[in-house]
Structures are given as C-alpha cells and as structure tokens.
Amino acid sequence: MVKKYTSHSLNGCTFHTRSFAEGKVTQCDGVAMIAKTSSFSSTRDDNPSIGDVAYYGRITEIIELNYLNTGYVVLFKCDWVDSVQGRGFRVDKYGIKEVNHLLNSGSNAFHEPFILATQATQVYYVQNPIEKDWHAVVDSPPRDFFDMEATKFHLPIENDVAMPSLDGEDTNWTRNDIDGIIVDNPPRLKHLTELLHKFTNI
C-alpha cells in the first residue's frame, strides 16, 4: 500500500513538501543528506577516493510504502542541487555553505530523487541579498530534543547536603556566602495562593 503525505515528523523535525510549505512563515521543506561517494582526481586516476559528500535539496513528495502491515518505509522525493563545487554549491571565505537554484527536478531516475526519511536532516535556505541565485544553507535544530552528551545531570540536594554529580564533581546548590532574607507573600499573592489551594484541594 502506498500513501502520500504533505508532512512527516521524525527525530524532532517536521518535514513538509515544497507545495505545502509555500506561503508559510517557517521553511520545513529543505533537506540535506551526507553520502559516501567515490571521486577521481582525473580521467586517468585508477584509485578513487571515498569521502563524504553533502547533497542539498527540497522535498516534493513524502511517500509511505506499507508492506501489508508488517512494516513500512517513508521516502522523500526531492529536487536536488547540483553538488559540483562552484556550479551548484560553494563555500565562501567565511565558511558559509551556499547553494544555487535547484537543477535536478527528479523527473529522471538518473537523478536519484528518492532518499529514506531517516537519511535526511533538516535545513533551510536564506537568499543572498547580493547574488539572488545563491542561498545560504542553515541547519535547523530539532525541536524538543536535547544533546544528552553535552548536558550534565546533577542529583537533587537533600537537607542542604551536597550530593555527588554524575560527572564526578560534588555540587552544592545552596549559597553559604550571604545571609538569607525572609520575604512575606504580598496580600494579593497570598489571596491567589489561598484560592489555588481551595480549588485544587492541595
């Protein structure tokens, strides 16, 4: 069974088809994919080198292939930018990646328009104000996802005792360098608190 969608959520990103994204404030149809590609230094080179090549494009169709309810695969059909350096892709002196207008429409199987949704990362394109045909590539961070490797977790403090943190260092969440000040609740805040307790049975 084959189904088509206008949007698909994956890994904290929501992808839209290009037609569905038109007129919207946010741009969710841009994709990037890193692929292993063999390249030759010249026509006489018999030893190709394997390296990562980034491909940039925009989603035109989102297709789900359902295999009799035993499993399914989501594909993105994309219009791709020519990945040749200087023609469809370039990096400026500041290290900003830029792409030219989309050249491969995906109408030919040779253009390999389909990728797995799991291979795609989301990007968006910002038009160069001077050279209108060129657009800067900006990575779109996933929503509601956090870099767990970069985050340090600390155990809660009980009775003002410093508990060991997960990174091996003792952390004290109580300040001992200044005297505390007791602040009474203002009458209005106190009244609101009483109402909250009354209606929530706390």
Choose from 47-56, 104-113, 127-136 the range with maximum mean pLDDT: 127-136
Question: Quick one: pLDDT at residue 160?
Answer: 47
Question: Quick one: pLDDT at residue 193?
Answer: 65
What residue type is 95 in one-letter code? Answer: G
Average pLDDT value for the chain: 76
Residue carrying the six token digits 């050249």 = 103
Residue with the bigger pLDDT between 163 and 14: it is: 14
Which sequence spans correspond to the domains of the chain?
Answer: 2-139, 163-200
Q: Which residues contact 98 (CB under 8 A, 6 or more apart)?
A: 89, 90, 91, 92, 128, 134, 135, 136, 137
Question: Quick one: pLDDT at residue 73?
Answer: 93
Reported as a single tens digit per residue, the pLDDT across 34-44 is: 887 777 666 67
Query: What tokens does 47 get?
Result: 């030893």
Q: Report yes or no: 58 and 20 within 8 Å, Cβ to Cβ.
A: no
pTM assigned to the model = 0.62
Q: Is the pLDDT of residue 150 over 50?
A: no
CA dist 1 and 72 (Å) reads: 9
Question: Quick one: pLDDT at residue 62?
Answer: 95
CB hemisphere CA count around 65 (13 angstroms): 9
